[in-house]
């Protein structure tokens, strides 16, 4: 009887811990309101709305004045359509709720992955929280968050197939990639992980055949051919969608980009000015230590960790890649040769879901998370008042706008096709570099063809060009507030 009471108490404590995890992540989302602060969320929203209204997928740069005829793919349409529906149903609150739910889904995906890999509830819970602190609130909810979720699914299948020596688990991967490729371009990270498993497995088999396999490495646990068949199926599955194999062309184009790594902070290397970057570093160190602690190192996990380290330390946005790989490796090593905890059953998850929804509803009411508050947040970050002024006092276009505001202007002022927005793949390095130079008011701004063609200019106050144009005889200042400066052309 005492054992039953103790078991019941442990289950209740775990359910409270899971609820606290969900409510904690949701509360942070409510407080930060990152869902409406991401400059890209607005063009994602507009693209999703365009797809719903036209029952088609765009193939050129819609909404853009300067690149409207260039080829472009809405490869994140699987994120954009639900986002547009959420906005149609609940306005700004819908965007906020959608982003918060996606963030919670990331948190749960990481926890479930770690619990499945390690079999230990509290280890998974602690590692999950550490991973959240390292990357979860670095950037706002966007299609990348769904990449994190699907990467967790992929990694779970890879690690479990290795551990259980069941290649059949990998047969689910083509389904994962069929979904993933229609949501976000970083499905290629998942393909890289599957390719590493197949490649390392082959190299090990060859090394064993020629008696060159080091004793300090674990032996391969999967057959040689099947993982390559799965990899090929994943490549093919990723082509099932409106853009087919052209997605791989887009990946290649991204790999050639250079200027965006100077322009966008989240694409720059780690500076270690922020505490969460140290969490990322410590998780990576912990994963390397865990692999080295074993009597025999797993070459696949080591290769995956090295790959993740290269990507994540090069680009802050990819912190998630290293953090997820690191905690998964730590969980896998720590869970070896230990009796697994009892899994969390469906009734328990249902109870956690009900409790979390009720608590999050109370939190939302007490954190000013509503349409009016989100509207105020948007107005403090974007040129809402400036656009309203232009509606009352129309000025002939075309428009020249700050890079960060292009997405919002697509949403809020669709009558003016933008000169640039966050779709760096649409505009290319040459145009991105020109905008960067003009933004910084370098001498070349006087010959910028997009600025010279503009009838109205709307800029962020903080950029040097907004001050420079006050003395430029080609333009006159017609509006200014704490956020934006607006100029009209002196024709």
Q: Confirm whether 121 is domain-assigned.
A: no
pLDDT for the residue numbered 413: 95
What are the CA-CA distances from residue 137 to residues 28, 78, 434 (Å)? 9, 22, 31
pLDDT for the residue numbered 6: 53
Band of residue 280 on the pLDDT scale cut at 50, 70, 90? very high
Name the token pair of 299: 């070459």
Q: Confirm whether 42 is domain-assigned.
A: no
**Does residue 300 have a pLDDT over 70?**
yes
CA-closest candidate to residue 230, choices 193, 203, 205, 184: 193
pLDDT in tens, 208-218: 888 887 877 88
pLDDT in tens, 113-157: 999 999 999 999 999 999 999 999 888 899 999 999 999 999 999
Distance CA 261, CA 295 (A): 40
Place of tokens 């602060």: 37
pLDDT for the residue numbered 341: 75
Do 144 and 261 lie in one domain? The reply is yes
pLDDT in tens, 151-209: 999 999 999 999 999 999 999 999 999 999 999 999 999 999 999 999 999 999 998 88
Please give the mean pLDDT across all residues of the chain: 91
Band of residue 225 on the pLDDT scale cut at 50, 70, 90? very high
pLDDT in tens, 339-382: 677 788 888 899 999 999 999 999 998 888 998 999 999 999 99
pLDDT for the residue numbered 3: 52
**Does residue 320 have a pLDDT over 60?**
yes
Do 245 and 387 lie in one domain? The reply is no
Average pLDDT over residues 324-345: 86
pLDDT for the residue numbered 43: 97
Do 432 and 288 lie in one domain? The reply is no
**Does residue 241 have a pLDDT over 80?**
yes
Query: DSSP string covering 280-322, please?
Result: HHHHHHHHHHHHHHSSSB-HHHHHHHHHHHHHHHH-GGGHHHH
Do 282 and 194 lie in one domain? The reply is yes
pLDDT for the residue numbered 8: 57
Greatest extent of the chain over all pairs of C-alpha atoms, in Å = 89
Distance CA 464, CA 11 (A): 59
pLDDT for the residue numbered 469: 94
Do 173 and 320 lie in one domain? The reply is yes
What are the CA-CA distances from residue 318 to residues 249, 254, 270 (Å)? 21, 14, 10
What are the CA-CA distances from residue 176 to residues 10, 23, 97, 169, 240 (Å)? 34, 28, 25, 12, 12
> Higher model confidence: residue 12 or residue 129?
129
Name the token pair of 174: 């083509």
Do 285 and 207 lie in one domain? The reply is yes
> Higher model confidence: residue 7 or residue 247?
247
Do 335 and 451 lie in one domain? The reply is no
**Does residue 384 have a pLDDT over 80?**
yes
Sequence-separated (6 or more) residues with CB below 8 Å from residue 260: 267, 424, 429, 432
Q: Confirm whether 425 is domain-assigned.
A: yes
Band of residue 265 on the pLDDT scale cut at 50, 70, 90? confident
Q: Confirm whether 479 is domain-assigned.
A: yes
- Assign 476 to helix, strand or coil: strand
Residue 252 burial class via C-beta count within 10 angstroms: exposed 0-12, middle 13-18, buried 19 and up: exposed
pLDDT for the residue numbered 317: 87
The total domain count for the chain is 2
Do 332 and 389 lie in one domain? The reply is no
Residues 257, 315: contact at Cβ < 8 Å? no
Q: In the chain, what is the straight-line distance between the N-terminal and C-terminal CA atoms, in Å?
A: 89
Q: Confirm whether 311 is domain-assigned.
A: yes
Give percent above pLDDT 70 in the chain.
Answer: 97
Place of tokens 């790989």: 325
Do 267 and 404 lie in one domain? The reply is no
Q: Confirm whether 326 is domain-assigned.
A: yes
pLDDT in tens, 42-77: 999 999 999 999 999 999 999 999 999 999 999 999
Distance CA 434, CA 263 (A): 11
Distance CA 67, CA 428 (A): 10
pLDDT for the residue numbered 212: 80
Residue 276 burial class via C-beta count within 10 angstroms: exposed 0-12, middle 13-18, buried 19 and up: middle
Q: Confirm whether 294 is domain-assigned.
A: yes
Q: Confirm whether 428 is domain-assigned.
A: yes
Do 244 and 336 lie in one domain? The reply is yes
Do 337 and 386 lie in one domain? The reply is no
CA-closest candidate to residue 219, choices 145, 276, 162, 174: 162
Enclosing domain of residue 434: 382-489
Do 427 and 324 lie in one domain? The reply is no
Band of residue 297 on the pLDDT scale cut at 50, 70, 90? confident
């Amino acid at each position: 009887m005492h054992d039953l009471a103790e078991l019941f108490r442990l289950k209740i404590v775990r359910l409270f811990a899971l609820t606290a995890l969900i409510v904690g992540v949701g509360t942070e989302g409510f407080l930060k309101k990152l869902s409406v602060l991401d400059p890209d969320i607005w063009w994602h929203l507009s693209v999703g709305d365009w797809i719903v209204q036209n029952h088609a997928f765009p193939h050129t740069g819609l909404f853009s004045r300067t690149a409207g005829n260039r080829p472009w793919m809405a490869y994140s349409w699987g994120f954009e359509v639900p986002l547009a529906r959420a906005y149609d149903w609940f306005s700004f609150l819908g965007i906020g709720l959608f982003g918060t739910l996606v963030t919670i889904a990331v948190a749960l995906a990481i926890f479930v992955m770690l619990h499945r890999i390690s079999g230990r509830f509290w280890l998974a819970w602690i590692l999950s929280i550490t991973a959240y602190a390292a990357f979860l609130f670095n950037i706002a909810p966007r299609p990348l968050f769904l990449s994190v979720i699907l990467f967790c699914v992929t990694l779970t299948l890879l690690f479990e197939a290795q551990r259980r020596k069941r290649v059949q688990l990998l047969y689910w991967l083509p389904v994962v990639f069929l979904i993933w490729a229609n949501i976000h371009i970083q499905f290629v990270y998942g393909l890289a992980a599957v390719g590493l498993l197949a490649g390392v497995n082959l190299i090990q088999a060859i090394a064993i055949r020629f008696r060159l396999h080091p004793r300090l490495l674990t032996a391969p646990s999967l057959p040689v051919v099947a993982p390559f068949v799965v990899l090929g199926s994943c490549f093919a599955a990723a082509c099932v969608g409106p853009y087919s194999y052209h997605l791989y062309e887009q990946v290649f184009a991204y790999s050639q980009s250079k200027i965006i790594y100077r322009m966008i902070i989240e694409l720059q290397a780690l500076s270690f000015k922020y505490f969460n970057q140290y969490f990322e570093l410590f998780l990576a160190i912990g994963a390397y230590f865990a692999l080295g602690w074993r009597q025999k190192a797993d070459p696949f996990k080591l290769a995956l960790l090295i790959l993740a380290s290269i990507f994540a330390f090069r680009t802050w946005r990819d912190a998630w890649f290293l953090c997820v790989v690191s905690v998964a490796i730590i969980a896998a090593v720590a869970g070896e040769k230990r009796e697994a905890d009892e899994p969390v059953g469906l009734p328990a998850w249902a109870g956690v879901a009900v409790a979390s929804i009720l608590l999050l509803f109370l939190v939302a009411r007490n954190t000013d998370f509503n349409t009016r508050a989100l509207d105020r947040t948007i107005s403090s970050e974007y040129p809402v008042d400036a656009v309203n002024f232009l509606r009352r006092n129309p000025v002939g276009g075309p428009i020249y706008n700050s890079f960060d505001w292009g997405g919002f202007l697509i949403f809020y002022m669709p009558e003016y096709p933008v000169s640039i927005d966050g779709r760096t793949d649409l505009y290319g390095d040459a145009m991105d570099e020109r905008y960067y130079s003009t933004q910084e008011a370098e001498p070349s701004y006087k010959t910028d063809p997009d600025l010279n063609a503009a009838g109205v200019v709307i800029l962020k106050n903080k950029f040097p060009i907004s001050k420079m144009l006050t003395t430029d005889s080609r333009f006159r200042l017609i509006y200014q507030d704490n956020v934006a400066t607006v100029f009209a052309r002196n024709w």
